[in-house]
Structure 1
Amino acid sequence: MQKNKINIAIDGYSSCGKSTMAKQLAKEIGYMYIDSGAMYRAVSLYALRNGWMDNHSLDEDALRRQIPGIRITFRTNDKGVQETYLNGENVEKDIRTLEVSNGASRVSTLGFVRRELVRQQQELGKQKGVVMDGRDIGTVVFPDAELKLFLTAPPEVRAQRRFAEMQEKGDHSATYEDVLANVKERDLRDTTRAESPLRKAPDAIELDNSHVNIQEQFQWAVDMFHKTIQQYGIQTGNR
């Protein structure tokens, strides 16, 4: 274990900018960023490729039998961007489709899937120096993380952000009301699921970023990091 590094858990509601913050922070302090959501997407891709899942059904028994053989890792490419590997295959592009995303929300509710991925996530964090974002990082994956951050904002604010992002990308497939309904649906699913529901860890530092831009949010995270390592008496050569 690297005694001069800590683990950082970033949790919160959908469309709060968790991934953006985690990636920026990891790059700034020289830590490994782990996209926990990409791991569930990889399992979704595996199930789709094997014909165990479609729009109407999911063969849980088949997935349960094969889950021990699914290994998800991360590597940084020559441009410094982290990519997801499924059993040694680069699947970064394959896991970003809408079909895979929808499947990920389904497989993530399965207890045996979550337990296996939590095990793999904890393995990745054993050496410290990890920034991981998700829904249950500070409560389940890294309950002993030295720094836990929790992001929140009202559903209306998050829906407006996502809607604006869709408009900028030329995606006019949904109205603001559609996006808001989806955000509220995800909130309900995330907070009420039986396995690892979304909740703020008692020792997490909360930020309501309703009126905070990306740069201000990033600076807040950096400040929390430096405050934490000072508390632990850790010396670092990072900025």
Structure 2
Amino acid sequence: MNGHAVLGNVDMPTKGAMVILRSNSELDQWLAAAGGPIHFVPTMGGLHRGHQQLIRAARGAGGRVLVSVFVNPTQFAAGEDFTTYPRHPDRDIQQAADTDAVWFPTVEHIYGDANPDRSHAGSGPPIKPSLIQTLCGPWRPGHFEGVLMVMARLLERVQPALVVMGEKDWQQLTVLRQCLPALCEKRCRLLPVPVVREGDGLPCSSRNSRLSPSQRRQAALLPQALGDAEAAVQAGERRSAVLEQLVRARLDATELRVDYAQLVHPLTLQPCPHLDGVALLGVAVHVGPVRLLDHRFLLSRQPIIAIDGPAGTGKSTVTRLLAARLGLLHLDTGAMYRAVAWLMLENRQPIRSDAALQQLLETMELRLAWGDHGQQVICINGVDVSDAIRLPRVTATVPRVAALPQVRQVLTRQQRAFGQQGGLVSEGRDMGTAVFPNAELKVYLTATAAERARRRAADMTQRGQTPPPLATLEAQIAERDHLDRTRTEAPLRQAEDGVVVATDGITVEQVVDDLEELFHQRVPRGAEPWANTEPVA
């Protein structure tokens, strides 16, 4: 950007110049002339490297980038640092160099003539009480209601296609995701950005500027204490009480005043008595006049995504694409059952549980590998059956084979072995209920029988096979659904804490986008040990 201009009763500045907006009318004029989607970065000023990372993310997503600078009074309690919060508008303009416009609204611009004291916080969107029972909730009553109120007003006025926010305050991000109408109703999309840290490990924060050199050295012990907890997890510790006390003891020894050190579930923000998968260890401390937050996501294993649903809903395609996007392994459990069905057909093994089947299962060697182009290769007893298991005769046999207790016991044991280290996306019919009940994300994909029949016919045609009439395929699908749902061994059903995603009328890419967003509500981008994040300064 080359300089900046103030928008008044003049034409829009030439392309490449940042616009400074100081009234609602100037904002409305800029929005009307901007054209295309608006990507919005709401801030309270005191911009730093963390904010610059948000701006880069907004810029990288395309569209025009708007940054707001507004210190919101409704989220500060009496005695908190509202009056001393860093306010440096000229410096903020410099820090927002890659922005199309910076908006400096006043209290009147946001709240009108009403006095926006904390008594008005109830006029915002309703908040889920469970989300503010832990972490900062008990320590800052009314804070999150004030955040919701101001964000609802900001988004209503800007109407952005994308809002970009940091993961530094994970509780705030979670409250907004689950309670802000614009996000819940998908009127705009939220792009979370990982925490950016200083060279000493402390998260970038506007409040850091208020620390003296000695207080800054003291504050740097906060991320070190969280690192100790992470090391304890790597050494095998899983008890939340031990992890919380370890952090608190380290901070107490440095004379930092600790509000809390809590291990909670990332999505529900409820306490985790035992670490199994991914959890958030959040800490708040006081350093001199400043209250600082930090957190660490602790992983006892890499995350697991379990995708269930009836046949023909696109599970395999969605799972493969989602795994590739997240850098996780694709565990195609349906292919495992198909491989066993193929083996039984090849050996003329009757579809029933008996000693001969047990012998077949005990001597088979089932191997899953990944080909040069990311495709899953299925080998059984040294034979590549990746294509053969898709033949119609195998497809017709799979439901009866999968219902055999002996088969399910053997394959479930193999699947759980894959899941011990995590880091996979699995698909099948009982992944979230029987195989991986502690998966971070459980999805139940569904679609109408007519839509699934159409997809099956298209898939068969693509493979060079001649599909039967759609009515026949639809009847076969309905029969398979009935068998899968009524069998006594691991029947098809949605996990109680699973998310239903209907795939009718939407593209595969849209489904994958939705699942990626659901995943990052549970596992932040900054917590992915397999992902590249911005290095510290």
What is the number of equivalent residue pairs in this alignment?
236
Q: Which runs of 5+ in 1 are unaligned?
A: none
Matched, 1:14 2:311: yes
Match of 2:291 in 1: none
Identity %: 36
Equivalent residue in structure 2 for 1:126, among 420, 431, 444? 420
Work out which of the residue numbers 496, 520, 526 in structure 2 matches 1:202: 496
In structure 2, the partner of 1:228 is: 522
User: 1:37, CA displacement in angstroms?
Assistant: 1.2
SS in 2 for 1:228: coil
Q: TM-score, normalised by structure 2?
A: 0.41
More helix by share: 1
Q: Quote how far apart the aligned CAs of 1:167 are.
A: 5.6
State the Cα distance separating 1:233 from its structure 2 match.
5.2
Corresponding residue SS for 1:229: coil
1:82–1:211 Cα change, 3 Å:
same
CA offset at residue 98 of structure 1? Answer: 2.2
Per-residue deviation, 1:15: 1.1
Greater C-alpha radius of gyration: 2
Residue matched to 1:95: 389
Instruction: Indicate if the aligned counterparts of 2:301 and 2:421 stay in contact, CA closer than 8 A.
Output: no
Cα distance, 1:99 vs structure 2:
2.5
Secondary structure in 2 aligned to 1:15? coil
* Cα distance in 2 between the residues matched to 1:116 and 1:170: 33
1:223 shift after superposition = 1.1
Q: 1:96–1:209: structure 2 CA closer, same or farther, 3 Å change rule?
A: closer
Q: Is the 8 A contact 2:323 2:425 kept in 1?
A: yes
Report the CA distance between 1:91 and its aligned residue. Answer: 2.5
Contact persistence 2:353–2:406 (CA under 8 A): no
Change beyond 3 A, Cα 1:100–1:68? same
Amino acid at match of 2:334: G
CA offset at residue 78 of structure 1?
A: 2.5
Give the conservation status (yes or no) of the 8 Å contact 1:166–1:172: yes
Q: Quick one: which amino acid aligns to residue 386 of structure 2?
A: E
Contact 1:34 1:133 in 2 (8 A): yes
Deviation at 1:43, TM superposition (A): 1.3
Q: Which residue of 1 aligns with 2:332?
A: 35
CA distance in 1, matches of 2:492, 2:329: 23
Match of 1:159, as an amino acid?
A: A
Q: CA-to-partner distance for each residue in 1:58-102, whole Å, 9 max, x for gaps?
A: 574311233122232211122332201223443323323222333
Runs of 4+ in 1 over 4 A off after TM superposition: 1-4, 164-173, 231-236
Is 1:117 the counterpart of 2:411? The answer is yes
Rounded Cα–Cα distance in structure 2 between residues aligned with 1:60 and 1:37 = 23
Return closer, same or farther for 1:58/1:111 CA change in 2, 3 Å cut-off.
closer
Give yes or no for the alignment of 1:218 onto 2:512.
yes
User: Match for residue 150 of structure 1?
Assistant: 444
Contact residue 229 and residue 235 of structure 1 kept, 8 A: no
Matching of residues 3-82 of structure 1 within 5 Å? 3=300, 5-53=302-350, 60-82=354-376
1:86 to 380, 405, 415: 380
Deviation at 1:22, TM superposition (A): 0.2
Q: Counterpart of 1:185?
A: 479
1:46–1:201 distance in 2 versus 1, CA, 3 Å: same
- Tell me if the contact between 2:353 and 2:404 (Cα under 8 Å) persists in the aligned partners: no
Q: Retained in 2: the 8 A contact 1:74–1:84?
A: yes
CA distance in 2, matches of 1:172, 1:96: 13
* Distance (Å, rounded) in 1 between the aligned partners of 2:465 and 2:364: 34
SS in 2 for 1:8: strand
Name the CA distance, whole Å, in 1 between partners of 2:488 and 2:430.
12
CA distance in 1: counterparts of 2:505 and 2:388, whole angstroms: 34
1:159 aligns with 2:456: no
Q: CA RMSD in A?
A: 2.5
* 2:398 paired residue number: 104
Where relative contact order (Cα < 8 A, 6+ residues apart) is larger, the structure is: 1
Distance in 2 separating the partners of 1:181 and 1:166: 16
1:62/1:95 CA distance change after superposition, 3 Å: same
C-alpha separation between the residues in 2 aligned to 1:200 and 1:231? 27
Greater CA drift, 174-183 or 136-145: 174-183
Q: 1:172 to 1:99 in 2, by over 3 A?
A: closer
